[in-house]
Amino acid sequence: MRFTSYMDIALEEARAAAARGETPVGAVLVDPATGSVIARAGNRTRELSDPTAHAEILVLREACAARGSERLPGLDLWVTLEPCPMCAAAISFARIARLYYGAHDPKSGGVEQGPRVFSHPQAHHVPDVYPGLEEAACSALLREFFAGLRPG
């Protein structure tokens, strides 16, 4: 199977989130067997007044609702930023096969930092994790967004 990156789509969603005044994080759920995009989203925590409306949660919810199942075995998730502990736990619950992410998140990440959710004995399902994909583009977007928020 040919390897295709879906990070460009995740980045598009992150840019659209920034344009809405949301933290620029984007996520894409892909079925690697067919190459089809199952769901794509950017953060909507402000718009929805919902602290759980992270890009990853939104795509998991959409795909689970469409399938009528709380599990998505065999699907791959692409995210522009290292998932937080909440999203990492949801990724484990959803039985996602592979997690690809861009920027590392020392402040709020939960995969390689902080709680390291997938290394925890309570993680009953652990996806294959591929960090650092298009990391420069993913972190530049976040840096620019937060620089723009700074007064002066």
Q: What tokens appear for 109 in the block?
A: 């990440």
Q: Where are the beta strands (DSSP E) in 1-151?
A: 26-31, 36-42, 76-81, 98-103, 128-130
Of 29-37, 54-62, 124-132, 136-144, which segment contacts Zn ion by CB under 5 A? 54-62
Residues in contact with Zn ion, counted by CB under 5 A, come to a total of 3
Smallest gap, in angstroms, from Cβ of residue 84 to Zn ion?
3
- Near Zn ion in 94-133, by CB under 5 A: none
By DSSP bridging, strand 36-42 and strand 26-31 are antiparallel
Closest by Cα among 46, 4, 50, 49 to 24: 46
84 binds Zn ion (CB under 5 A): yes
54 binds Zn ion (CB under 5 A): yes
Where does this chain bind Zn ion (CB under 5 A)? Answer: 54, 84, 87
